[in-house]
Structure 1
């Protein structure tokens, strides 16, 4: 089946300005996936958009200052075995011609999320022996987002292989249910992976791809969750994590497998030196 491209207008909500990178306001990847899920369900009501694979954040989508919305396209295509491939596109005008740029790509799988096996999380590390960082300092110096996207709470605990922390799902004026749940907890779990990665590489790791995502039960604005970012592979120039979100009752809410993180700043943004020298309970000089 040929690709179907549907024009959409993305409203630029007030809290989007809190998500910025390199001085530019950027549409969060979790918001882009939400847009694609809505479009996929509208085009194919039978597809379970909570099961997805082959995610790719191809190019950052900058949101223009002062604009109330931005025009885009959602491309959908029937894939093999009942899957739906989707892409979020914008038109970029050049000197000679207009071209389409892909910002986010996701394949929604045919397997219902209810049929998937849920593995329990390993226990969190002991606070007494773990390196930890106060969430306020994370958002001041390591992941400098505004208040709406400061999902990590209290302290983030880190071992050589993983990061564990508490998340608060923000509720900045939005009450409508979304097919993938609140976007803020998963975004915060990515922050945990970013912080963990800054301790072991000389760049700020940014999510660019993932192998699969499963939303077992959508997260809800206003609720608290526990997040785990588990390092699966570390090779030159990139890190790969598995992410898990659990609610306060201990139920697994969603997972991301094979989250690939790279430097998207071309070496311009570096981790501060102090993050690599933290001792237990975050003991280091403020400017060390």
Structure 2
């Protein structure tokens, strides 16, 4: 089976305007994953879309301020018992055109045998090293707009972990696959917590460049409130690596993320300061 490339129209949702960094609106990584999942579910009905592997966010997809739609390409690539999907754009200049890759993800073609724990102890450790009010966090460390300010109240930082409440805004699902996958906002908020934890060790704003594995056990819901735990695996100037959990107050696990990789990027500016 050879690679197949399809033209797709990406609808620019109003809340994407709040996902801007240093004045540039960019498609959130979690939204690019949703688009790819939706296309894979149509083309490969047997694929296990609840398990995502080897995600890569190669280049930001910038969104013009007045855009309502973007013409993109989705390319499927076979990989043994998996299928890969890439989000691409084509830039044409005269008679020349260039393809740019923005994100990539792989899915098992059959039901995965992965069975992470579905319940954990939700008790947060006592005596955090630092407590950061989210108003200050979103003003100084992760400067996104209102709809993407999903961390609630206070972010609690420990030596190698961060804990927070994360709430999905009451926004409608835009893909039918979200009945299985849930809202993208809790994971986005967990990434914010990881970025702030990383900023205690490095002098830049870490942004996501990849995820080794994401398993969705239960779909998060619009207007739902959850807990997230971020655990540092590697903290270095070259790359920061985290594991994430999203769960509820009873300890029911909704998402398990292994190997969230974050780096300094071209669009990232130096942070104003660390706590």
Q: Secondary structure in 2 aligned to 1:194?
A: helix
Q: Secondary structure in 2 aligned to 1:6?
A: strand
Counterpart of 1:247 in structure 2 is: 248
Q: CA deviation at 1:272?
A: 2.7
- Tell me the alpha carbon deviations over residues 185-225 of structure 1, each in whole angstroms, 9 at most, x when there is no partner: 00000000001111110111001011111001111111100
Q: Secondary structure in 1 aligned to 2:155?
A: strand
Equivalents in 2 of 1:163, 1:217: separation in Å? 22
- Assess if the C-alpha contact under 8 Å between 1:58 and 1:208 holds in 2: yes
TM-score (norm 2): 0.93
Counterpart of 2:165 in structure 1 is: 166
Equivalents in 2 of 1:112, 1:252: separation in Å? 19
Equivalents in 1 of 2:47, 2:236: separation in Å? 35
Equivalents in 2 of 1:33, 1:148: separation in Å? 18
What aligned pairs does 1:88-127 form with structure 2 within 5 A after superposition?
88-94=87-93, 97-110=96-109, 112=111, 115-118=114-117, 120=120, 123-126=123-126
- Assess if the C-alpha contact under 8 Å between 1:5 and 1:74 holds in 2: yes
What aligned pairs does 1:162-201 form with structure 2 within 5 A after superposition?
162-174=161-173, 177=176, 178=178, 179-201=180-202
Q: CA deviation at 1:116?
A: 1.2
TM-score (norm 1): 0.89
- Assess if the C-alpha contact under 8 Å between 1:5 and 1:76 holds in 2: yes
Aligned CA-pair RMSD: 1.9
- Which 4+ residue blocks in structure 1 deviate beyond 6 angstroms? none
Counterpart of 2:42 in structure 1 is: 42
What aligned pairs does 1:135-146 form with structure 2 within 5 A after superposition?
135-146=134-145
How many residues align? The count is: 272
Equivalents in 2 of 1:163, 1:113: separation in Å? 29
Equivalents in 1 of 2:266, 2:88: separation in Å? 21
Q: Secondary structure in 1 aligned to 2:265?
A: coil
What aligned pairs does 1:195-214 form with structure 2 within 5 A after superposition?
195-214=196-215
- Tell me the alpha carbon deviations over residues 108-148 of structure 1, each in whole angstroms, 9 at most, x when there is no partner: 1246357413173674222x443110111111111111111
Structure 1 residues 16 and 194: alpha-carbon distance in aligned structure 2, compared to 1, 3 A threshold = same
- Assess if the C-alpha contact under 8 Å between 2:56 and 2:105 holds in 1: yes
* Gap regions ≥5 residues in structure 2: none
Counterpart of 1:270 in structure 2 is: 270
Q: Secondary structure in 2 aligned to 1:73?
A: strand
- Assess if the C-alpha contact under 8 Å between 1:114 and 1:216 holds in 2: no
